[in-house]
Structure 1
Amino acid sequence: MTEKVTGKFYKRIFLAGILILALFLTGCSGIAPSSGRAEDAAAKTESGTDLNVHFIDVGQGDSTLIEKDGRYMLIDAGERDQGPVVVSYLKEQGVKTLDYVIGTHPHSDHIGGLEAVIRAFDVGTIIMPEKAHTTKLYERLLDTIEEKNLKITLPKPGTTYDLGSASFQILAPNRDYGDELNNWSVGIRVDYGNNSFLLCGDAEKEAEEDMVANGLSLKADVLKVSHHGSSTSSSQAFIDRADPEYAVISCGKNNDYGHPHKETLELFQKKHIKVLRTDQLGTIVAVSDGTKVTFPGVGDRMEPKAAEGSEASGVSTEAPDSQSTRREYVVNTKTKKFHLPDCSSADSIKEMNRSSIIGTREELIGMGYEPCKICKP
């Protein structure tokens, strides 16, 4: 049994500021959680297909698609302008139905694109924390959930769900964090055979301490680094407990926050954790056969070795060629130039000459467009 509230009722709860005890909201989820036993997880490699985890490049934000046996789960979808990018990527992967959608917490760089996603696909279960945010973007998301007659399932630590022959367990949030939205992040561990992936939104050190203390396993081969590599997350105790071989950081190139922070990178180097970053590699795909995890196409670019001029971080900060990264560009159909969405020149394009194209830099050049000299897409 899991806890569910309708989008309309959920919205009323938040906007009115009324705390409803989960005890009174218990209802059938329609999805049978698995037992979560280790022997069950080990037995789930029999189907012979791989678990695929796509860390989608949405700039300064988060979005992760997880697929097993034709079952799909999406965790976050970046800012609102990344919604079309995520929708396009999911369609390329053959997604028609999302069995699960998780909005980790109400910040726009995580839930902004979910409205477009929920409108574009059939959705089974939506998991979001019981914490509101007084923004129009958040209210639009709740309205969209209600319009599609969907319900919100509140995350309960320890609950385990099936995703094909893989499974995932809710780890967080563990208590009321007041107005600290990052700490309300839904945290999960995805298990397939002997491999595990740990994804905890923007959980900061306070929430990490609670996950360490709640007794649930945090051990993972791959850690999706919380809060884009900020020093407010990735505490020593949390990283020690997770003990990952790989750390994936989702952040925007040359972002205003300086993510990932030097302290975080130094900790990963100290523990010999291989780091992969979307600002350097674009979308990153991890593949698990139940016994090992590989990153096709990445090669040795994940190795934690110092680049020239970046000895302090111990991790290369040189971005590889991003011409093959698919994303949304703003094009001027008159001048035949293309821009990044936040480019100042893009803002001045007349509506009649303005269009959006999703593709790679090479593809747009092949279509006859010229990159902007200001934003240098």
Structure 2
Amino acid sequence: MRKICFALLTISMLLSNTAVSMAHPGRTDANGGHTCRTNCAKWGLADGEYHYHNAAGTIKPAESTAETPDPAKETDDDSSDATLVADKIKVASKGKLSVYFLNIGQGDATYIRTAAGDDILIDAGKNEAGDVVVDYLKQLRVDDIEIMISTHPDADHVGGLDTVLRNFKVENVYAPKVSHTTDTFKDFLLAVKQEGLKIKEAKAGVLLPLKGVTARFVGPVAAYGDDLNDWSAVLHLTYGINKFLFTGDAEKRSETDMLAGKLALKADVLKAGHHGSVSSTSPAFLKAVAPKYAVISVGKNSYGHPAATILNRLKAAKASVYRTDLNGTVTAVSDGKKISFLKVK
């Protein structure tokens, strides 16, 4: 009788475990979480939502586990594509502004989702980063892009935008009034034309048509000839009392013009110019911005980015520094009053 009871108990446990596995499969990652794959609604989750289980098996959505990571702690993965998978993304809850500084190697790519649900993409890295950016946007369930910004024609910024244009409906494209002769830049222009779009000029004073946020270009202020970096479109975005400044590769000459124009530069979060190069983030500019956080979009490179001088300058300014080469994709979430950085890895 004992053997029968024990056998029944064992079978019951196996069936229970099998049912849970079948209803909610998926190996956990290093953070103890994973993505929902089947019967997501049954668990109170959206399809593909990243979440955790506690010891009792109760679901804990990713939002409840958000925390501010140590920006100085290096990750064990410097790749720019394999890390962009669903089980390593914590999608911010609705009603908040989310900013994703994407880990795409040496280059820039920033995706912004406003609280109202509008999508903004600033640059998309090199040509090979285009597919990575597209995959990331699809994981975040982006259906269309209200605003696409090409900060300037450099290949590590504009390269992947043609791929994005071919994969998503884009409503508006902004870029500074400067051209380049490279095939990479020509591919971008051709993709814009093929989508039936016209490029709108990005320059100081232009306000983006977005609800719930104030997004205005503060650069370029002037014409900069062949200096493509200083032509960079610089965007200042305000949500509630929180402010962000996205600088492209703008260097000291552009920074000086923005300061002279007494434009709104102060920001809680600064996307440091030119991947942390000594040519950008001048002392006067940094003082005007006075950021609490600085994000450096950078990968393996031979340019010395980010420069020790800039890292020390940011440290002296008491700005917490996040780097995509060390921290992976950096995700900032604002409720209009407070900014939190989510741990993606």
- TM-score, normalised with respect to structure 1: 0.65
Hey, what does 1:263 align to over in structure 2? 309
Q: How much has 1:296 moved relative to structure 2?
A: 1.5
Q: How much has 1:161 moved relative to structure 2?
A: 2.0
1:102 aligns with 2:155: no
Residue type of the partner of 1:209? T
1:217 is matched with which residue: 264, 287, 293? 264
Q: How much has 1:111 moved relative to structure 2?
A: 0.3
Distance 2:302 2:215 in 1: 33
Distance 1:165 1:94 in 2: 21
Matches within 5 A, 1:1-377: 49-68=95-114, 69-253=116-300, 255-297=301-343, 324=345
Kept in 2: contact 1:167–1:190 (CA 8 A): yes
| 3-state DSSP of counterpart to 1:190 | strand
Provide the alpha-carbon RMSD of the alignment: 1.3
Hey, what does 2:3 align to over in structure 1? none
Residue type of the partner of 1:64? T
Kept in 2: contact 1:70–1:164 (CA 8 A): no
Hey, what does 1:313 align to over in structure 2? none
Q: How much has 1:164 moved relative to structure 2?
A: 3.3
Name the % identity.
45
Q: How much has 1:167 moved relative to structure 2?
A: 2.4
Unaligned runs of 5+ in 2: 1-93
Q: How much has 1:156 moved relative to structure 2?
A: 3.1
Distance 1:81 1:296 in 2: 26
Residue type of the partner of 2:108? D
**Cα distance per residue 1:37-76 (max 9 Å; x no partner):** xxxxxxxxxxx81000000011000000000122100000
Larger-Rg structure: 2
Kept in 2: contact 1:183–1:203 (CA 8 A): yes
Unaligned runs of 5+ in 1: 1-47, 299-323, 325-377
Kept in 2: contact 1:247–1:273 (CA 8 A): yes
Kept in 2: contact 1:72–1:163 (CA 8 A): no
Hey, what does 1:17 align to over in structure 2? none
Which structure has the higher relative contact order (CA within 8 Å, separation 6+)? 2
Distance 1:222 1:140 in 2: 32
Distance 1:121 1:112 in 2: 16
| 3-state DSSP of counterpart to 1:105 | coil
Kept in 2: contact 1:174–1:210 (CA 8 A): yes
Distance 1:184 1:237 in 2: 19
Residue type of the partner of 1:236? P
| 3-state DSSP of counterpart to 2:342 | coil
Kept in 1: contact 2:203–2:233 (CA 8 A): no
Distance 2:176 2:135 in 1: 27
Residue type of the partner of 1:179? D
Distance 1:153 1:215 in 2: 24
- TM-score, normalised with respect to structure 2: 0.71
Q: How much has 1:163 moved relative to structure 2?
A: 2.9
Q: How much has 1:140 moved relative to structure 2?
A: 1.3
Residue type of the partner of 1:58? I
Kept in 2: contact 1:51–1:166 (CA 8 A): no
